[in-house]
Amino acid sequence: MSRPLLDATGRVLLVTGASGGIGTAVADLYREAGGRVAGLDLHPSEEVRACDVTDEASVAEAVAAVLDRHGRIDDVVHAAGIVGAGRLADLQLADWHRVLDANLTSAFLLARVCAAPLAASRGRMVLLSSTNGRNGGSHLSGAAYAVAKAGLVNLVRYLAKEWAEAGVRVNCIAPGPVDTPMLARLDPVQRQALADGMLTGHLPTAGDIAASIAFLLGDHGAVYTGTTLNPSGGFFLA
């Protein structure tokens, strides 16, 4: 009998960026797999708790509330982040810090506060990088975004080694452009150029990326840690 992509029965997922396209898709898939979901986002709803992932106190309070409600955290997916834009000469220092904090510093804050509960459950963590962090990016997303996403790749390698003794697996996915509201900032010509760059001929969906994350969280991904997967539709050839 074949095993499902993910069996989350009895498990609890903490997902940041839970109101965004990929975060929502991950939460939906996890619930379908039988798990419970604790969502965090700057834009809360009935199912998503308010949290500023760039603020140390906000992250600590949110994770404490999840533990108080659910008693455990088995899986963590960090899908929160923002994109930049523009060429280096036009990049202001405040914008540099803003993009790095939202994408990279936030992952550090989340990992630090989730280390103990993940060790207790021998859990799994997945960080969301980007092809921009592997190919240098472009002015469409800006220098700070490329640097932050590259930092996530190496943070995963570091955490995988440090947390191995505790039985915690840490991985990363680095998709290219994904058909989510984040691409709304681009004009139709730019969007089509990105789609044309896909060897598959189309932009991946949020559901496609969620499936890759589910693979890393599930038993099928048991041999993966410290790894960055490349669900980019051939946009970037790793």
Assess contact for 125 and 164: CB atoms under 8 A. Answer: no
Which residue among 30, 145, 158, 224 is the active-site one?
145
What pLDDT does residue 203 have? Answer: 85
- pLDDT tens for 141-162 read 999 999 999 999 999 999 999 9
Q: Residue 92: inside a domain, yes or no?
A: yes
Q: Is residue 5 part of a domain?
A: no
At 48 the pLDDT is 96
Q: Which residues in the chain show pLDDT less than 50? A: none
Considering only CA atoms, give the Rg of the chain.
Answer: 17
Domain presence at residue 36? yes
- Partners of 171 in beta bridges: 126
Q: Establish if 211 belongs to a structural domain.
A: yes
How many CA atoms within 13 Å lie on the side-chain side of 91? 20
Question: Which pLDDT score is estimated for 1?
Answer: 56
**Per-residue pLDDT, 237:** 86
pTM for this entry: 0.94
State how far the Cα of 118 lies from the Cα of 167, in Å rounded to an integer: 9
Q: Letter for the amino acid at 167?
A: G
- Position 1 in a domain: no
- Asked if the structure places residue 214 within a domain, the reply is yes
- Provide the domain count of the chain: 1
Bridge partner list, 212: none
Residue 124 lies in a domain: yes
Q: Which amino acid is at 166?
A: A
The H-or-E segment that residue 150 falls in is: helix 143-162
The torsion angles phi and psi of 155, rounded to 5 degrees, stand at: -60, -40
Return the pLDDT at 104: 98
Name the phi and psi angles at 12, rounded to 5: -125, 130
Range of the domain at 57: 12-228
- CATH number of the domain that residue 216 is part of: 3.40.50.720
The question of whether 158 is a catalytic residue gets the answer no
Give SS3 for 49. strand
pLDDT attached to residue 226: 98
Q: Is residue 236 part of a domain?
A: no
